[in-house]
Amino acid sequence: MNYRRIDVKPVATALGAEICGVDLAKPLDDESWSEIRRAFHEHLVVFFRDQVLTPEQQLAFARRFGPTEPYPFIDGVEGHPELVEVVKLPDENHNWGSNWHADMTYREHPPAGGVLYAKEVPPYGGDTLFANMYLAYETLSSGMQRVVEQIEAIHDSFDPTEHASLFKGMAMQGTSTATREVAQHPLVQTHPVTGRRSLYLCRPYSVQFVDMTVEETRPLLDALEAHATRPELTCRFRWEPNSVAVWDNRCAMHKAMDDDLQALHSGEGFRRVMHRATIAANAST
């Protein structure tokens, strides 16, 4: 695609592109926004470097994609309940979201996307990977496509206290307001904007296929995740301070790398702090 107001640089064949020539701290004119939106749908996840954003500015940008909503099990930053601070402390060797997943699939209406802003990052490591779920569906055999088109999956949040309790630097929501959520979704979905079909799965939350046992579900679910996350269907983003990533939760999975080996072996690793805004399901973008 041709762009007049922004520069779009793909980072991998499957998905992902860096967008240059825009300052997200300033209000976006309609033409620049239209081009960002086009790049977002073409590449599924877009990245911006060197963006110095206040919480208000990050949320204002996120709301160009649609309404924002709080994460159900973690308190937002002070004054901004829709903005979650994602923290890994130097002595922790796991990042929040380190399994391949789509966000909050246990909700009846899962979010349309997310906007993640890097506040503090390690000098190396802690990258985020993304997978193209359009291609995950399109590269299945025709026989397997017919199989998955008939399946719905049950998604379960499990105990809400588990969502951030393992991360000392994160603000867990009080259990009095955190309620377990369970939802059912088709394994193949059609994107409301692009009209393309994609696999929709999330190994941490997709516990069982409807009318199948857990034991029958696991082998197929594991095989589909392995297929969807093959290297040629993914991209990898190396964070720098003040980088921003925006992904389409309806057609992409992602994971944060757990590769802080210094924290694992000595307890003296790296601190990583991100601010995440969630784009609600009823986004028009």
CA-wise closest residue to 45 among 194, 231, 246, 229:
246
Is residue 265 part of the annotated active site? The answer reads no
Residue 80 makes CB contacts below 8 A (sequence gap 6+) with 55, 56, 59
Q: Which residue is catalytic, options 254, 271, 272, 275?
A: 254
Q: Which residue is catalytic, options 43, 80, 103, 275?
A: 103
Is residue 276 part of the annotated active site? The answer reads yes
For residue 127, give both structure tokens: 């990258």
Q: Which residue is catalytic, options 43, 80, 101, 275?
A: 101
CA-wise closest residue to 152 among 180, 101, 188:
188
Distance between CA 234 and CA 189 in Å, rounded?
Answer: 19
Is residue 185 part of the annotated active site? The answer reads no
Q: What is the dihedral of CA 129, 132, 133, 134, to 10 degrees?
A: 170
DSSP secondary structure of 145-193? HHHHTT-EEEEE---GGGTTTT-TTS-BPPTTT----EEEEESEEE-TT
CB burial readout 87-114, b (16+ within 10 A) else e? bbebebbebbbbebbbbbbbbeebbbbb
Q: Which residue is catalytic, options 43, 80, 163, 276?
A: 276
> Which residues belong to the active site?
101, 103, 254, 276
